[in-house]
Structure formats: structure tokens, C-alpha cells
């Protein structure tokens, strides 16, 4: 890993927001999936959740421009267990929906641990999702249409969350655990060695302040053996 890459990854990780996430419920168009991941990465989201209508759906590159390599996307086949898992982390769930109780999306306090739920492109969030959400929000519009593209709606809400969090100083200090920070640094800076470690069940070795591996002879011998077999 070059010192420049190490610095870039370190700077990115220092701004990650582990208590801000996105849930995509049935979003299935690749350009929307990729655009949401790209925006999430841009505002510091570290983990996301995708509930799939089909087991064949996955997020690919393209519009995401590699962002899917830096945002952990957890895959789920059912909404309720995913929401339960997220709420156990103390997160409020916010969904866009034009209901009687919907408030302006800017009235929600996004400095609280928050999951933004985005519904399927054509039909929006399911009734199940609306029932478990803590807040229904609306994005004010004065034109003829009543809804935005799902990736655009997600971007609008995520940047409001970023604005509030910046004002609250939540981007001013490292918020990831040391373990998670090291994992991302190692996998992002030494992907070949990271794969070899996973194959052999070895822990990732430490890195110095330039991002270079600090390991004993035994570890390097194990890596050479893995390379020969590959």
C-alpha cells in the first residue's frame, strides 16, 4: 500500500458514521442500487442493508464507481428480522411516505442513531415497513409530481443527515472501533494478503504508520505458501 493510499483510506475512515445507515426494501434497478450506495459512501455511511425481492439481485459496479467496496452491504431476505436487528442497535427508522402523520424530512433529528428506509421504485415502502418505522417523512414538492426517484430521495435525506451531524461535530472524531478501522485499512490496502488470511484463517497483522505490514517470519512463510498454492 502506498503512503498516499494509506492516507486517503485513513481520512475516509475518520469520517465514517457507524450509527447512520440505509435500508433498501426491494429496490431492484441496478442504477438506483448503485446510486444509493455511492451517495451513502459520500456522506460517511459505513454499513447498509438490502432486502431483496429475488435471491439473484446484487449490487454491481457501474454507477457505484467502486463505492460498494467501501460500504458494507448486509443482505436480507425478510424485512422484519432486518428491522429488529437494526432497532436492537438503538436506531430509529425513518421512511418516506405521504401519510397523515408524515412530517417534513428536515424535522427529524438525524444526529440520533438513524436508519433511512427506501422503498421499492414503483410501489414504495410496504405496509410492513410503514408499520415498523418510527417516523414517516415527506419531501416537500411544488411541481406536478408527488415523489422523487428513490435514489434522489435517499440522497436528499442523507445530505440532510450529514448537515445536521456536521453541525453537531459528529465528523470531528474517529467513531469506528480500532478493530473495524484496521480491518478496512488492511483489506483496502492489501487485498491479496487479506484474501490469503481469510483462506488460511489467519488474523490480519498490524500495520505501521505508513500502512506497511508488520509481521513475523512465520506469517510471511504462511503467505508464501498460500501464494504458491494459488
pLDDT tens-digit profile, the chain (230 residues): 888 999 999 999 999 999 999 999 888 788 889 899 999 999 999 999 999 865 555 555 444 446 678 999 999 989 999 999 999 999 999 999 888 889 999 999 999 999 999 988 778 888 898 999 999 999 998 887 777 889 999 999 999 999 999 999 999 999 999 999 999 999 999 999 999 999 889 999 999 999 999 999 999 988 887 665 55
Binding-site annotation, residues for S-adenosyl-L-methionine = 96, 139, 148
Q: Which domains are present in the chain? A: 17-167 (3.40.1280.10), 178-229 (no CATH)
pTM above 0.75, yes or no: yes
Other CB atoms within 10 A of residue 144 CB: 5
The C-alpha atoms of residue 69 and residue 41 are separated, in whole angstroms, by: 10
Q: What is the DSSP letter of 45?
A: B
Those residues whose C-beta lies under 8 Å from the C-beta of residue 138, and which sit 6 or more positions away, are 96, 97, 98, 102, 103, 104, 105
* Chain position carrying cell 429475488: 54
What was the pLDDT predicted at 222? 85
| Buried b / exposed e along 83-122 (16+ C-beta atoms within 10 A) | beebeeeebbbbbbbeeeeeeebeebebbebbbbbbbbee
Under 8 Å between Cβ of 50 and 77: no
d(CA 202, CA 221): 12
Tell me whether strands 103-104 and 92-96 are parallel, antiparallel or unpaired: unpaired
From the list 47, 30, 31, the residue with the least C-alpha distance to 86 is: 47
Cβ distance 51 to 26 under 8 Å?
A: yes
What is the structure's pLDDT at 65? 45
Amino acid at each position: 500500500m502506498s503512503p498516499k493510499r494509506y492516507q486517503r483510506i485513513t481520512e475516509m475512515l475518520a469520517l465514517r458514521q457507524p450509527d447512520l445507515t440505509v435500508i433498501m426494501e426491494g429496490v431492484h434497478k441496478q442504477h438506483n442500487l448503485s446510486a444509493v450506495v455511492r451517495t451513502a459512501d459520500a456522506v460517511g455511511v459505513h454499513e447498509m442493508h438490502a432486502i431483496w425481492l429475488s435471491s439473484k439481485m446484487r449490487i454491481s459496479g457501474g454507477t457505484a464507481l467502486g463505492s460498494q467496496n467501501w460500504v458494507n452491504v448486509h443482505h436480507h431476505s425478510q424485512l422484519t428480522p432486518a428491522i429488529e436487528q437494526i432497532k436492537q442497535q438503538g436506531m430509529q427508522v425513518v421512511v418516506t411516505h405521504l401519510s397523515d402523520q408524515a412530517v417534513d424530512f428536515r424535522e427529524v433529528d438525524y444526529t440520533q442513531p438513524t436508519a433511512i428506509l427506501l422503498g421499492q421504485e414503483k410501489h414504495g415502502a410496504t405496509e410492513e415497513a410503514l408499520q415498523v418505522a418510527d417516523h414517516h417523512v415527506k419531501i416537500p414538492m411544488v411541481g406536478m409530481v408527488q415523489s422523487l426517484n428513490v435514489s434522489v430521495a435517499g440522497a436528499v435525506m442523507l445530505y440532510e443527515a450529514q448537515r445536521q451531524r456536521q453541525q453537531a461535530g459528529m465528523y470531528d472524531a474517529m467513531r469506528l472501533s480500532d478493530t473495524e478501522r484496521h480491518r478496512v485499512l488492511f483489506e483496502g490496502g492489501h487485498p491479496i494478503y487479506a484474501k490469503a488470511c481469510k483462506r488460511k484463517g489467519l488474523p490480519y497483522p498490524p500495520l505501521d504508520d505508513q500502512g506497511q505490514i508488520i509481521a513475523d517470519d512465520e506469517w510471511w512463510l504462511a503467505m508464501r505458501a498460500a501464494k504458491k498454492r494459488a
